[in-house]
Structure formats: C-alpha cells, structure tokens
C-alpha cells in the first residue's frame, strides 16, 4: 500500500474527518456528465456478459436429474409432505451449485463496473477516457485483489442479511471504500478491508447515509421504467469515487493510472493558447 495514503488514513483514524455530501454529489454530477457515455457502456457490457454467462451456467447446471421411480413411489404412497421434501431436496442441490458458480462469475465481472472508478479519476485529472478503460483492471495487475475482495464482501454481506438485515446493511456500508483503496492506494486485500472498515466505523453515519443515497438513486432509476438503471448504476460508482476523494483523497496525486491516457490540455491545440 502506498505509504503516503496509509499515513493519511492513520491520521484520519486519529483526528476524524467530516464529509460534505453537497460536495460529494456536486463533484459526482460534474464527473458523470463528462464520462456518462463510457460509464453507461461499461454497465451495458457488464450486464450483457452477466446475462450470457448466467444463461450458460443454467444450461450447465440444470435441475438435478430426478429418480422417477422414487418420485412415483412417493406419489403413490400419498405422503404429500414427503413428496414436497423430495422435490425441495432436488431443487436445493442444483440451486447451491448454481449459486456458488454464479457468485464466482459475478465477482470476476465486477472489475468491468469498477473501471468506472478509473474513468472518474482520469476525467477528474484532465485525462482522456477511452473504451479500453472498461477492461483496465484485467490487465493492471489488480484483478485478483479486486476479485477476492468482491467475493469476500458479497459472502459476508449475504450472511449478514440472512442472519439479520441490519448487520448485512452495515457491512455493505463500511466496505464501500475497500475496492477504491485497492485501485487507487495499491492496497492488498487485508489492508483494503482493514482500513476500509476502520474508516467506515470512524464515521458510520456518513457511510450509512451514502448507502441510503445509493439505494435512493437505484430506486429512482428503477421507477423510470427500469431504463433509468442504465444511468443510475454507473452514477453510483462515480458517487463512491467522489466519496473516496472527499475522505481519503490522493495525497501524492500521482498513481499508475496517471500514466494511462493522455492529458487533454496537452493534446488539444485549442487549449494550448
């Protein structure tokens, strides 16, 4: 993890920090206007890929083959409860396999959505955003950490929601900055989870408010005939980027991402005057 970012976070954990949501939303709106096309394209690519892969998984793991003799014997026995339990068992066996494989594939596709963080950073620092940025985290050496972090967060959050909705909700909230720490601060999984969660609990109210804002944005997108989700989902990631910048920021303002793309002021002759 970058030393200056780690030092900044440790300082924040001691002194605390304040978050201005007016600033976060304002900055997110300005950035989204500049990268909307690319961000929406990233979401569409992710959505289509996930739908295709989910369909393939469904074909590979169809409903478990039933022992029809056993089923017929159960039917003839007239025990409706036993029949229901038998059918449930077949369904669950397939469901568990499908869920595991589907979660693994979904986590592997998340870097496409997380590329929106990189797009936001580049635009925010006067860099050209490119279509190839959609797949940047498959080639920048951070895929494994992003994949594992996404998987861990999904599993823990799911368990929290199953046990009780509130713990799951809190887990989602305090882990919002985990992936940005991997992308922008070069944190490994342990560091990202450790510092991300600590920052979350340092000002839990702000993180919960952000999560509620995210849910609100998605609900609005859903109400707009679901079409609004095409813009709402990418905007959520820009919002998280803006939140990360508001809290952690970029102490050195120079990362690997700075080397990607081109300075629009340098390349545009109309801006050289």
Looking at the chain, the whole-number percentage of residues with pLDDT higher than 90 is 61
91: pLDDT confidence band, cut at 50, 70 and 90? Answer: low
Per-residue confidence (pLDDT) for residue 164, from 0 to 100: 75
Alpha-carbon span 189 to 181, nearest angstrom:
9
Q: What is the pLDDT of residues 245-273, one digit of tens each?
A: 999 999 876 545 544 554 544 444 444 44
Alpha-carbon span 252 to 125, nearest angstrom:
13
pTM: 0.81
Q: What are the distances in angstroms from CA 180 to CA 6, 143, 169, 267?
A: 13, 13, 19, 28
Residues in a beta bridge with 263: 127
Alpha-carbon span 249 to 221, nearest angstrom:
28
Per-residue confidence (pLDDT) for residue 65, from 0 to 100: 45
Per-residue confidence (pLDDT) for residue 66, from 0 to 100: 46
Provide CB contacts within 8 A for 43, sequence distance 6+. 113, 116, 230, 233, 234
Per-residue confidence (pLDDT) for residue 154, from 0 to 100: 86
According to DSSP, residue 176 is labeled T
Q: What does the block give as tokens for 67? A: 């022992």
Domain ranges of the chain: 3-39+116-260
């Amino acid at each position: 993890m970058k030393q200056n970012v780690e030092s900044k976070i440790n300082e924040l954990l001691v002194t605390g920090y304040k978050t201005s949501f007016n600033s976060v939303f304002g900055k997110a709106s300005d950035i989204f206007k500049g990268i909307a096309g690319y961000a929406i394209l990233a979401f569409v690519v992710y959505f289509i890929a996930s739908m295709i892969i989910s369909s393939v998984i469904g074909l590979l793991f169809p409903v478990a083959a039933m022992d029809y003799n056993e089923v017929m014997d159960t039917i003839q026995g007239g025990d409706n409860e036993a029949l229901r339990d038998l059918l449930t068992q077949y369904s669950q066996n397939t469901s568990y396999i499908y869920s595991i494989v589907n979660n693994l594939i979904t986590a592997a596709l998340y870097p496409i959505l997380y590329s929106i963080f990189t797009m936001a950073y580049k635009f925010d620092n006067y860099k050209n955003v490119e279509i190839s940025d959609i797949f940047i985290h498959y080639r920048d050496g951070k895929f494994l950490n992003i994949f594992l972090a996404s998987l861990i967060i999904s599993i823990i959050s799911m368990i929290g929601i199953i046990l009780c909705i509130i713990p799951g909700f809190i887990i989602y909230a305090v882990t919002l900055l985990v992936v940005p720490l991997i992308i922008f601060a070069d944190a490994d999984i342990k560091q990202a989870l450790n510092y991300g969660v600590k920052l979350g609990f340092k000002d839990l109210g702000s993180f919960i408010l952000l999560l509620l804002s995210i849910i609100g944005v998605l609900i609005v997108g859903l109400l707009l005939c679901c079409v609004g989700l095409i813009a709402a989902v990418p905007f959520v990631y820009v919002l998280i980027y803006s939140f990360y910048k508001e809290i952690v920021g970029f102490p050195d303002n120079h990362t690997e991402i700075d080397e990607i793309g081109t300075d629009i002021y340098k390349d545009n002759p109309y801006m050289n005057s």
